[in-house]
Structure 1
């Protein structure tokens, strides 16, 4: 496989929702995108929809073997990675109402299922960190490397501590706290990579209507993905260490 492509990105959870939209946009800007999907068949279907420049790759954030295999394939085929978009996430493990209103009461701290919390955190927190650890050596081979972690404004501890915050009642230990933890490990990445060529940014795509929330979001996938795309396309002179929503609005930690 060629090593002369202009820019190579890996997006996890790229077969639907925000991940798919970001993949479409990056391909349209000349980036070769590896579409990460737990189910390779779904990744293949998404890649076929996008066309040239989109390549499916199996990666399951709960399966360290699949993460290692993906990293090995990227090294063998390309020798580097220029952009990592950690997008894959789940809101709940059990079947049922995925909307914020439908899941709020059962996800209160006094009622939340510990097993479900473990399952959600295993993907959103530990899985994301595992991907980072596996892909960092490949990112270090790039002359212009960037990591974009896709989070949620629901994970802002500062906002949730404010009684005036309109989504404060949705904060609980399953999904929102998993995003707070993701923010925390992203900060650890930022600190580790300070002074290196690898840049790290944290982005909230807003309350986007996707399968994650039972399509209850107020923003379209197109609108909700804009900030992820903007930050992913920042050049070598672009900032690192930011936490933003559209358009370049800082979010408090």
Structure 2
């Protein structure tokens, strides 16, 4: 049975992604900052008949917490097939280039960028033991420099200096990571789940968590002939999914 770790998975898109992977026969380590909330989510999934799941406490902003999660998961398996870096934060509004505070930048970057680096580096050894390891980095089309500068883009007027720049930085990390792993069995992709209605955006989104989760799952279960090093947004490009960095 293949095993997957999903960060920020006790609610919203992360939770739905966990549900869909459980339905496909994966064992899910459901990562969450609050273990009580994680255990509640696990019970909800088990009530649906999805039992191959365990909550793992992991705060991606804490090196100690990430290290402890690595030890905990390592007690249960020496192979991790899929890592989905889903945990993220918006940083709130407003986020003007001239008005956003240093604390806003530091807080958002610590989760959206540094957190992904912490978790990826901590679990890469377990992933190297998998025959077909997959890393999905949950990004946003808001991190595309090309689209942010295109007046014809759907979300051109949605500007946030903190969140957008954090996702742009995350996209570059994805690019470099995919490059470093290019001669291995790894597949590494950045996936935009779309403008989804969750508490992340005060339920202003237009898409459903079911659709968003499915978009992520597609790149978690890629076959050997699947792509790597891509930036995907099926919301903006329904045909190929590929959007410009």
Which TM-score bucket, shorter chain as reference? over 0.9
Is the Cα contact below 8 Å between 1:171 and 1:177 reproduced in 2?
no
Which residue of the partner structure matches residue 98 of structure 2? 110
| Number of corresponding residues | 237
Equivalent in the alignment of 2:110: 122
Q: CA deviation at 1:160?
A: 0.7
Residue 226, structure 1, aligned to residue 214, structure 2: yes
Instruction: Point out where structure 2 has 5 or more consecutive residues left out of the alignment.
Output: none
Unaligned runs of 5+ in 1: 1-5, 93-97
1:25 paired residue number? 20
1:9 equivalent to 2:1? Answer no
For residue 142 of structure 1, what is the aligned residue in structure 2? Answer: 130
The answer as to 2:242 corresponding to 1:250 is: yes
> Matched residues in 2 for 1:59 and 1:174: separation?
24
Alpha-carbon distance between aligned partners in 1 of 2:79 and 2:161, rounded to the nearest angstrom: 37
User: Deviations 1:109-156 (Å, cap 9, x if unpaired)?
Assistant: 011121011100100000111101001111001111000000001000
Aligned counterpart, 2:90? 91
TM-score by length of 1: 0.91
TM-score where L is the length of structure 2: 0.93
1:3 aligned residue: none
Equivalent-residue separation in structure 2 for 1:201 and 1:166 (angstroms): 22
Secondary structure at the residue paired with 2:113?
A: helix
Q: Distance in 2 between matches of 1:38 and 1:188?
A: 27
Residue in structure 1 matched with residue 61 of structure 2 by the alignment: 62
Q: 3-state SS of the aligned residue for 2:129?
A: coil
Secondary structure, aligned partner of 1:249: coil
4+ runs of 1 displaced by more than 4 Å? Answer: none
- What is the DSSP-based 3-state SS (H/G/I as helix, E as strand, rest coil) of the residue aligned with 1:168? coil
State the match for 2:171 in structure 1.
183
Q: Does 1:80 align with 2:79?
A: yes
Asked if residue 53 in structure 1 is aligned to residue 48 in structure 2, the reply is no
1:237: Cα distance to partner? Answer: 2.9
